[in-house]
Amino acid sequence: MKPIALIGFMGSGKTSIGQLLGKKLAYPVIDLDEQIEKNTNMTIGAIFDTKGEEWFRNKEEEELNKWTGKNVIVSTGGGIISRKQSRIRLKQHFHTFWLHASFEEIMKRLVEEDGTRPLWQKSKEERKELYLKRESMYKQAAHYMISTDGRKKHEIAEEIIHLM
């Protein structure tokens, strides 16, 4: 079976839905950001500050490649779709689910953001621009789009299981 990948904008629920799916399916859950932090001994913010986004995207792609063909659930970072080769890998080698939340919902969820998301530390206009820019890339990479606005996590997990 292909691994499951959860994609979507920051705050869309990838980590929490991934954890719930992992329990329901008895699959290990791999959070790419956590793996990168562990492997580099740096926070994502520190990586962006010292190495830059491009370096981070290289690490992200390397980490994604490690899980191809494994029975796991991969919770990706929101920007993994920014590279064409990552979108192709997600589409060809994973059951990829786009957890879609409206920009308004993302704003509510990230209202108390603790500073761990470097690309969220911009103006509201820049955040919205990034959100809109990424939408078509999520669509390219995903097999399914799951709306998360106003829904309970277990409902979303059940929908994913049903679609598999």
Structure tokens at 14: 């990838």
For a pLDDT cut of 70, what percent of the chain falls above it?
92
Find out if CATH 3.40.50.970 is the number for domain 4-163.
Answer: no
- At residue 154, does pLDDT exceed 70? yes
Is pLDDT larger for residue 109 or for residue 79? 79
pLDDT attached to residue 32: 94
Q: How confident is the model at residue 6 (pLDDT cuts 50, 70, 90)?
A: very high
Q: How confident is the model at residue 114 (pLDDT cuts 50, 70, 90)?
A: low
Tens digits of per-residue pLDDT, 61-106?
999 999 999 999 999 988 899 999 999 999 999 999 999 999 888 8
Alpha carbon distance 159, 46 (integer Å): 36
pLDDT attached to residue 53: 86
Task: List, as residue ranges, the binding site for ATP.
Answer: 11-16, 117, 151
Tens digits of per-residue pLDDT, 33-67?
999 999 999 988 889 889 988 999 999 999 999 99
For the chain, which residues make up each domain, given as ranges? 4-163
Helices and strands, number each (H, E), in the chain: 8, 5
**How big is the chain, counted in residues?**
164
Task: List, as residue ranges, the binding site for substrate.
Answer: 33, 57, 78, 134
Q: What is the b/e burial string over 19-50, where b = at least 16 CB atoms within 10 angstroms of the residue's CB? A: bbbbeebebebbbbbebbbeeeebebeebbee
pTM flag (> 0.85): yes
pLDDT attached to residue 2: 85
Task: List, as residue ranges, the binding site.
Answer: 11-16, 33, 57, 78, 117, 134, 151
